[in-house]
Amino acid sequence: MSAKSFEELIGEQVILDVSSLYVYVGTLIGRDEHYLILDDADVHDLRDTKTNREMYVVDSKRIGIRSNRKRVFVRRDEIVSLSALDDVID
């Protein structure tokens, strides 16, 4: 099985790990020079829960995205990694 390219991830549910204590889970709809754009996104502050980043991501795959934003713009320079939600190993 081959990995999807960035363009193939557009329209897919993804996880954005960022350098701060946030994790973003949502549908990747596009990008511009400074941002990746997610629809129906869960913007989760890890300081608000007792779970860690990995467990939160696994839970998102198991029970689905708990959307709290219709659309969110995430600064590209903050992103550490981008993964398809389907690629999460639970």
Total domains in the fold of the chain: 1
Q: Is residue 81 part of a domain?
A: yes
- Is the residue at 1 inside a domain? no
Domain that holds residue 50: 8-85
- Flag whether 3 is in a domain: no
Distance CA 76, CA 61 (A): 23
pLDDT at 16: 97
Q: Which two tokens stand for residue 78?
A: 């903050």
Contact (Cβ atoms closer than 8 angstroms) between residue 46 and residue 25: no
In terms of Cα–Cα distance, which of 43, 47, 44, 48 is closest to 72? 43
What CATH code is carried by the domain that includes residue 20? 2.30.30.100
Rounded CA gap, 25 and 30, in Å? 14
Give domain status of residue 71, yes or no.
yes
pLDDT band at residue 14 under the 50/70/90 scheme: very high
In a domain, 77, yes or no: yes
Tell me the pTM. 0.91
Task: Give the pLDDT score at 49.
Answer: 86
- Nearest residue to 38 via CA among 90, 86, 85, 3: 85
- Domain assignment present for residue 36? The answer is yes
pLDDT of residue 15: 97
